[in-house]
Every structure is written in C-alpha cells, then in structure tokens.
Amino acid sequence: MSDSCLASVKIVQERCSRCCVCHSLCPFEAIDRDPETGKVEINNQKCQVCGICYSACPVTAIDMAYYDYDHLLEYVKSAMQRGRVDTLVTMCRGSAPSSGEVADILAAVGVPVESHLALRVPCAGRIPTDFTFKALQAGVNRIVSIQCPDRFCRMKEGTEIETRRMILAGMVLEQLGYPPETLTVVKHARRAVWSNEKCVGCDKCVFVCPYQAIEAESFSSPTINIEKCVGCGACQLVCPHDAIQVRGYEFADVLASYGKAPPALRARGKPAILVFSCQWSEYSALDFPDVLRDEGAVLMEVPCFKGLDPVHVANAFRCGFDGVMGVVCAEKDCKLPQGRDVAVRQLEVLTAALKRMGLEERFEVHELSPRCEGEFRPRLAAFSRKLASMTPISQVAKEGVTARTG
C-alpha cells in the first residue's frame, strides 16, 4: 500500500466517545485502542472495509467512503419516488453478485416478492439497525437480507452480527404491530454447479479445488460437496468442456457481455479497455460499471483472483480491446486465500503467452484494496494513456490469439 493511500475508513476524534464498541467488534483487529487514554484509531494496514465498526458506532464517529448510511437511505428513497417498491433486498457482495438472480434466490426458499429493490453491499454487517427502520418509514413493506452462511462470511463475523440485528429489530417491529414477515434473513452461498451432459470425468476440477469441495467418483461425474464449496471459480477455469461453472460468472454469459463492446468504446476517442476486477479489491466502480464506459472501459467482476480466466484475457484482444487490466487483492487481503498459488501460476503462463504474441505491454495486473480510496481510477487513466501511445490493436498481428465459444 502506497504512502499516499487515502484511508476510506476514518474515526472522527471530535465525535468519538471512547466507548470502544468498534474496537470490540472489529473481526480483523484493525482498530487500535490506547490502554491509558482509551483513544481508538483505525489501523489502515489491517482494515478490510467491512463496515461493521461504522454500523455499530453509537455516536456516528466513523466516516466511511463507500455505502455510507446517508447514501444508502437516499438510494432507497429515490427508488420509492420513481415507483412503488414492495420489498427491499439487501445483499452481501459474496452471496449475490447479480441483482437479476434475486428472484430466483428468494423463490428457492419460498419467499414471495412482487417488486423488489436490490441493495448490494460488501458485507451484511455494514447495515445498521436504524437503516432498517428508516427504510420501512420510507414506504418499503418488507426487507429481506440475503447473507452468506455464517462460516463462509468473507468478513468473518458480518453475517452473524447482522442476523442478530435483524432478530432484535424484528422483535421491536412486532411490538409496534408489524407482521412477522416484515424482516427475513436468507442464507445463500455462491457455489459451483455442473452439467453431467458435458462432463467427461477428467477430474481436473477435483485436483485443482483448494477447498476439497469436489470429490471424484469411480463411474460417474465428480460430486460437489456443497458444504465446502465457496465459489472461488478455480474449478471453472480448468474444465475443458465448461461442465462446471460458478453461477453468475458463466463463461458464455461473460463472453457475451463484453464481446461486442470495443467499437462503441473506441467511438469515445479512447483506447478500449477490458477490466477484470475481483469483487473484494475495488468498490468505487464495481457496482456502477456504466460510468467507466465514458473512459473507454468495460468492467467485469470475478469472484476471486482464482476466477480470472486467462482465456478471456486472450480473447479480449481478438475481440478488439486495446488492453486488459486485472484488479486483484494482495495476498494478505485475499478473502479466499487457499489455492492462490494456482492463480499465480495461471498468471505466469498467461504472461508468457502474451509475451510471445507481442501483447505483454497491453496487459496489466494491479493489487488494490478498497481501504485506499480512489486508487483505481488513476491506474486506469495511466493505462489508457499508455495504450493511446501504442499502435492500435487493429494493426497488431494477433496470430495465436484464439477464442473459446463456450
């Protein structure tokens, strides 16, 4: 992390009451407390920007750069003004990457929803109880919290904390006459699914899975142990027949979302850039990808560094992108650290292949963290300037760059 890093989580000492609630709740021990004075400060080297401290501070002494209370509430109120919304669905980033999946997730657990507003945050534990009450006051009839299972929480204790808050808030609301179904907690995990029709039994997925979640079978396709799968995407990358994929990140869907983008991007007068970002390494642009198009970039989310598919990188050049950028977490920040060596080896092979094609200067990987506010945009701008000084990709020989059709 650079010395110029602008911390995205700060304690405003003038408002702090020294109650140390934040210090006791932080799952990453990122809040230091002076034993003599009781003064607390954020240790920016350890902070993972989960927002648990922010949502728990009784005197609002913690400032948060992303998804702060006022902006979340304004988002709900604005949506209510545009049209009636029956249900507000708050989603943990790790459990529901696509708002289009909300209806399917809720239907699977028997929760009926007429119309919903999706609110996606890095961790369920970031949502304060007061926000729940204010959202209902704004006109929402029901709030559903889609959370990762407790033991798969990327922020360690976020889902447990938010579940307790929802239970307590529900008890208060029932006393005020609200129906029991006003608040609902749904546990949902991002996991791999496979197709028996495509599987040839090569067992590559069994070998590469860092969580031992795929078990080989003697006379049939491998079996996924749902209780162990965390949806990192390592298995999807090694499957030669697309027989196993992480839902929400299916190869064909990802390909379709960027394949025809370069001409429209280049019409803006800037190099066309495809950005693959780990969902835990960049927050400022990840939930608002459309704003990057004016900068000539398309942003694609991946569940983890292990889900950065080298095939998509190579295929991006074939589609006409001038450059590809990868944004990943540093090793110490990785939320799914097991098997990171697999991702590193894949990156080494990819880099060597691009070098042989003469494309190595058009591919960059940056280790970023949401704890440093505003680092992504300058990196993207610098990459764009570099590409603008190079020969257009349309004039570069692309022998050996091929695409999988999915």
What type of residue is 121? V
Q: Could you read off the pLDDT of 117-171 as tens digits, one per residue? A: 989 898 999 999 999 999 999 999 999 999 999 988 999 999 999 999 999 999 9
Cα–Cα dist 38/65, whole Å: 25
Cα–Cα dist 250/302, whole Å: 10
Q: Could you read off the pLDDT of 51-100 as tens digits, one per residue? A: 999 999 999 999 999 889 999 999 999 999 888 788 999 998 888 756 56
Cα–Cα dist 346/348, whole Å: 5
- Identify the three-state secondary structure at position 118: strand
Domains, the chain, ranges and CATH? 9-63 (3.30.70.20), 69-187 (3.40.50), 252-406 (3.40.50)
Question: What is the pairing mode between strands 31-33 and 40-42?
Answer: antiparallel
Q: Could you read off the pLDDT of 320-375 as tens digits, one per residue? A: 999 999 999 999 999 999 999 989 999 999 999 999 999 999 999 999 999 998 89
**pTM of the predicted structure, to 2 decimals:** 0.90
Cα–Cα dist 275/342, whole Å: 21
